[in-house]
Amino acid sequence: MLTCNKSGDRMVVDAPNSNGPFQPVALMHFRDVAPAEQEKLFIQKLRQCCVLFDFLSDPLSDLKWKEVKRAALSEMVEYITHNRNVITEPIYPEVVHMFAVNMFRTLPPSSNPTGAEFDPEEDEPTLEAAWPHLQLVYEFFLRFLESPDFQPNIAKKYIDQKFVMQLLDLFDSEDPRERDFLKTTLHRIYGKFLGLRAYIRKQINNIFYRFIYETEHHNGIAELLEILGSIINGFALPLKEEHKIFLLKVLLPLHKVKSLSVYHPQLAYCVVQFLEKDSTLTEPVVMALLKYWPKTHSPKEVMFLNELEEILDVIEPSEFVKVQEPLFRQLAKCVAERALYYWNNEYIMSLISDNAAKILPIMFPALYRNSKTHWNKTIHGLIYNALKLFMEMNQKLFDDCTQQFRAEKNKEKAKSKEREEAWIKIENLAKSNPQFFMYVDSSDLNSPVAMETDVPLIEDVLRLKKTVEEGAIQLQHEQRKERPMVRRKSELPQDIYTTKALESHRRAENMLTTHDGL
Amino acid sequence: MDAFKLMKELRVNYEQEAHYLPKETGLNLIESTTEDDNRISAKCRDAKVEDLWSLTSFFGYSTQTFVLAVNLLDRFLAMIRIQPKHLSCVSVSCLHMAAKVTEEECNLAPADDLIRIGQCRFTVSDLCRMEKIVAEKLDFKSKAITALTFLHLYHQITLSHSTDRKEKLSLEKLEAQLKACLCRISFSKAKPSVLALSLLRQEIEGIQSEDMLEIAYHIQRHLKITDGELLLWSERVARCLSDYASPECSKPNHKKLQWIVSRRTAQNLHSYRVVPDEDSCEDMMSSGEESLSSSLGSDAEGPFFPLHLRRQKQRQPLHA
């Protein structure tokens, strides 16, 4: 160990503290050492940095030595960035070891161990306390990997499957800065170590499977997807079966997980990348998306709409035709701003106008039904735009749809009128029965209002309102009459067995003796 | 209503219709105007009438309202020269006036809704003023006799004579066709009775009913409409309707419309769409078959792979 006791900005050795085998000496700077000696110094510094410090339970401990380590790491980063031929063969195992020692640790438990899971949107992430050191270790390792002197053939002895596995485990860290570094690190490793690629993909697959089907909890999905995005981008054509399966069995089911919003942009990117590579996958993708489509009009729906629009932006017209009907039937249910905004997308509109005869009749009722009145002014305006574009496409088609819509509406009206008349008939028949007044509860409303449409028509709502009001008035009239305030007891069962059973039933408490007379 | 009464009413209307015709010279002037900033051209007017149809449809107004609105508009335009920038205000006023005459009170859309949906640049008070001006210029003759009036009468007459063909002659279809014709200014020059009869005949010829044709002829003679006049307009109607009925879908024009979304939606949109592309230098690690795009930046601050979509190919929209 070289010691130095020069004054100035060097740290001087104090008495050794309780930190085990650590020899708290500040090593020389690289620049102060002859080139021949630099390798040895390098290894020493690396080994020195294998000592871990406690930042969590005792943040103020060993401040000097923490600074020593930090300075050493920083210096090494500079060293390999600005010097060539300093990464020699003995260095490799030391670097990897240093990284492993610092990084591969059990992650702290989730910040909400008892309550809800860590919600990446709401909760503040628990940041890594040892970040000042970890950051530099990551930084250093990255420079190491990216150095022009770096030789994968040598490194592969040390950067092996086990290493990768442990690296992947770290992706569950709550600290986004760490995940960011991990992402870049893994990306570089994937790029340089061809032999590890299949293994990496397989392990990522497994992480996803566990996430989707078992835990639904993992903090690093977005980062992993980001890496995958650039991996997918580099896929050669024709796509291997393995990749297609990945799309269908992993990427698509990721849409149904609750925490979708955390990683949705990355996921959408991956999906679209796939489609750009192989457009025959469009149909299964779109159908899966429709299958996982959120059932309520939630913010989640907006994500799906975003993704869908991106898919449509790159869709081949021939594929479009295959999926247009179910797709627009789903869209017709979304009278949401985001869905209506689709009509502003010129490419989508050109696709629609090429297939207008099939699509417009699906969209029309949804739009037209809401056109007259919609409580939301923005949506109201957008509906108008959509209808106007529609009309410009083909006036006759528009008129035909209008006529059909009106015809159906009239049919519905006629039907509900028939139903009402039928009920009234029944009621009249009942009234003519002399026993009527014995059984009827006089606070009944006049007639049930049947609402078959999924969106109640204005007329239905008004009618219902009227009926309720009438019923309420009637009730008031009733209450003015004298009515004895009798609490209605439940009727006793007539069945003999039940009655016997009730009588012979004893409560458990009567039979058990209580403890201590309590 | 029995046939005799109907015919009588027909006659009465026929005698009155001239009062509600827009001045032919005025219409000619519009038709001959080329695109100009100072004068209304036919194209201008036609586009505006189509807008009126959109609004009619959207607010659930009847065809009657629409036809009346167009009538008011044409009469006004034929009389008064206005600048194109006022056309929007004039046309919406006509629609509002027509709606007040035709529609029930409860179905009337409030003026500010009309203005907002129509994406108009003028205010409610502008609208009221314009309505007064139009009403004044047209001598307050708001309840006009239009081609629709005749169409209804013809329809009733035809049905009263041949009840077994009730379903075949669809009034709704005739109304839609009339509306299509009215979107072209040239048809405003036709006498409403003649225009309606042309439409009727066209439709009857389509369903090939001999006895209905007979009735149409009977009407023609009753009103003393000349063959020449009828033929002229029938031809024009036929041409217009064949355009209307073509299955071709034209690409809609996006630029005329404003797409207003709420701020939250706009934010959502921007995060996905607006960020410009970054060029990623493709680092081809091609010793295997698969390469990795090295768009992940080399230091922590560098641009990572684009979170938005890279539009690599410009899609060519297919031509209809």
- Amino acid A270: pLDDT: 92
Confidence check: pLDDT of B187 > 80: yes
Residue type, B191: K
Distances in Å between the alpha carbon of A132 and those of A58, A71, A129?
Answer: 15, 11, 8
Contacts of B318 in chain A (CB under 8 A): 317, 350, 354
Mean pLDDT of B122-130: 90
Provide the ipTM.
0.73
Mean pLDDT of chain A, nearest integer: 78
Residue A44 C-beta-side C-alpha neighbours within 13 Å: 16
Q: Is the pLDDT confidence value at A454 over 60?
A: no
The answer to whether A363 and A323 have CB atoms below 8 angstroms apart is no
pLDDT in tens, B253-309: 666 677 777 776 676 665 444 322 222 222 322 333 345 554 443 333 323 334 333
Q: Total domain count for chain A?
A: 1
Q: What is the pLDDT of residues A214-273, one digit of tens each?
A: 888 888 999 999 999 988 988 888 888 989 999 999 999 999 888 888 899 999 999 999
Q: What is the 3-state secondary structure (H, E, C) of A429-473?
A: HHHHCCCHHHHCCCCCCCCCCCCCCCCCCHHHHHHHHHHHHHHHH
- Using the Cβ of A401 and the Cβ atoms of chain B, whether some distance falls under 8 Å is answered with no
**Residue A121: what pLDDT?**
58
Among chain A residues, CA nearest to B117:
A381
Q: Give me the helix-helix angle, B171-182 and B192-207, nearest 10°.
A: 130
Residue A418 has pLDDT above 70, yes or no: yes
d(CA A500, CA A493): 10
Rounded CA-CA distance A179/A185 in Å is 10
**How far is A164 from A159, CA to CA, in rounded Å?**
7
B33-138: CATH number: 1.10.472.10
Helix %, strand %, coil % of chain A (to 5): 65, 0, 35
CA distance A309 to A304: 8
* Interchain contact, A388 vs B257, CB within 8 Å: yes
- Residues A69 and A75: their CA atoms lie apart, in Å, by 10
Has residue A465 been placed in a domain?
yes
Query: A342 lies in a domain?
Result: yes
Helix, strand, coil tally for chain B in percent (to 5) = 60, 0, 40
Among A63-67, A228-232, B169-173, B204-208, top mean pLDDT goes to A228-232
Chain B: closest CA distance from residue A289 (Å): 18
Domain for residue A297, yes or no? no
Question: Are the beta carbons of A218 and A258 closer than 8 angstroms?
Answer: no
Nearest CB neighbour to B249, from listed A234, A356, A385: A356
- List B residues 175-194 in contact with A (Cβ-Cβ < 8 A): 176, 179-180
Long-range contacts of A414-423 (CB under 8 A, 24+ apart): A415/A452, A416/A450, A416/A452, A416/A460, A419/A450, A420/A447, A420/A450, A423/A447, A423/A448
Residue B78 above 70 pLDDT?
yes
Task: Give the one of B180, B283, B296 whose C-beta lies nearest to A184's C-beta.
Answer: B296
In this predicted structure, the answer to whether residue B243 has a pLDDT above a threshold of 90 is no
**Counting Cβ atoms within 10 Å, is residue A331 exposed (0-12), middle (13-18) or buried (19+)?**
buried
The Cα–Cα gap between B90 and B88 comes to 5
Q: Which residue of B has its CA nearest to A338?
A: B265
Q: Which whole number is the average pLDDT over A391-413?
A: 84
Say which of B287, B289, B312 has its CB closest to residue A236: B289
CB A452 within 8 A of CB A418: no
Chain B positions in Cβ-Cβ contact with residue A399 (cut-off 8 Å):
176, 179-180
- The label of the residue with tokens 């009749």 reads A361
Joined tokens for residue A37: 């000696």
* Residue A133 counted as domain residue: no
Between the alpha carbon of residue B169 and those of residues A129, A414, B1, B115, B223, the distances in Å are 83, 22, 18, 37, 21
- Digit-coded pLDDT (tens) for A303-362: 888 888 889 888 888 888 888 888 888 888 776 777 777 878 888 888 888 887 888 888
Interval A175-189: pLDDT, tens: 889 999 999 999 999
Determine contact, residues B55/A381, Cβ cutoff 8 Å. Answer: no
Is residue B77 within 8 Å of residue B30, measured between CB atoms?
yes
Do A231 and A269 form a contact (C-beta atoms < 8 A)? no
Residue range(s) defining the domain that contains residue A355: 317-431+460-473
* Whether A230 and B295 lie within 8 Å, measured CB to CB: yes
Q: A with B: how many residue pairs have Cβ under 8 Å apart? A: 183
* Most A-contacting residue of B59, B280, B293, B319 (CB-CB within 10 A), to test interface: B293
Task: Please compute the mean of the pLDDT values over residues A382-398 and round it to a whole number.
Answer: 83
Structure tokens at B318: 């297919």
Q: Residue A168's pLDDT band (boundaries 50, 70, 90)?
A: very high
What pLDDT was estimated at residue A142? 92
Is A302 part of any domain? no
